[in-house]
Amino acid sequence: MNETTSTMTETHNGYATYETWNAALYVLNDEFLYNTAVACVRFCAEGDTPWAKFVRCMMEGQIGRFLGSTPDGVAWDSAEIDTRQMERLMADLRSGY
C-alpha cells in the first residue's frame, strides 16, 4: 500500500473519522441538509457556532424524530464527529449565500 492510499484510508478521504466524513457527505450532497446548513451559517447567533446550531436543528423537535442521523445511521450529535472539521465545512458554506 502506498502512502497516499494509507493516508486516505486512515483519514476517511481527508476527514478525521468515518462519522465526520459521513456527516459532511450528506450535508454537502443532500439539498435539504445543505440548505439547512446554509441557514444555520446565515442565522447563527453570537456566541453560537453554525455546526452546533445545525446539530440542534437536526436533533430536536419534529425534524429530530425523522432526521436525527444520516441515512447511514450516524447521529448528528455523535461524539465521533470532529466538530472542528465540521465548523470549517460550515465556514466554507458562507460563500454560498
Per-residue pLDDT at 66: 84
What is the reported pTM? 0.83
Q: DSSP states of the chain as a string?
A: --HHHHHHHHHTTTSSSHHHHHHHHHHHH-HHHHHHHHHHHHTPPTT--HHHHHHHHHHSHHHHHHHSB-TTS-BTT-TTS-HHHHHHHHHHHGGG-
Ordered per-residue pLDDT tens for the chain, 97 residues: 444 444 445 678 899 999 999 999 999 999 999 999 999 999 999 999 999 999 999 998 777 778 899 999 999 999 999 999 999 999 999 876 5
How many domains, in total, are found in the chain? 1
Please give the pLDDT value at position 3.
Answer: 45
Give the structural domain span for 7. Answer: 3-96
Asked if 70 and 26 count as a contact pair (C-beta separation under 8 A), the reply is yes
